[in-house]
Amino acid sequence: MKYDNRHGGPFDRGRADYWYHRLPSPHYYLNGTGTSTRIERVGMTRAEVEAYLAGYAEAEAQGDRKDWS
């Protein structure tokens, strides 16, 4: 399935959470990350949660994470 990859969107936030070694916690931003309203899981549709989890899973499958050293 193809997901909207816009910066701040659910798919993007899922990928980012994996990249930064965070546990999955579905959320997204209405506009840009950190510059607009953050929508938490309770306010997300099933499709938005699915997109977030798909982004996280795709990043996990690629295995690329931020190196903090």
Establish if 57 belongs to a structural domain: yes
Phi, psi of 27 (to 5 degrees): -170, 170
How does pLDDT run across 6-46, given as a tens digit for each residue? 999 999 999 999 999 999 999 999 999 999 999 999 999 99
Establish if 69 belongs to a structural domain: no
pLDDT at residue 53 is higher than 90: yes
pLDDT (average), residues 41-53:
98
Establish if 39 belongs to a structural domain: yes
At 65, the pLDDT band (50, 70, 90 cuts) reads: very high
* Counted domains in the chain: 1
Establish if 1 belongs to a structural domain: no
The pLDDT of residue 22 is: 98
Task: Decide: 24 and 53 in contact? Cβ < 8 Å.
Answer: yes
Whole-angstrom distance, CA of residue 67 vs CA of residue 5: 23
Establish if 28 belongs to a structural domain: yes
The pLDDT of residue 1 is: 81
Nearest to 52 by CA among 20, 28, 19: 28
Classify the phi-psi angles of 37: left when phi > 0, otherwise alpha if psi is within -120 to 50, otherwise beta: beta
Establish if 68 belongs to a structural domain: no
**Which domain covers residue 47, as residue numbers?**
10-62
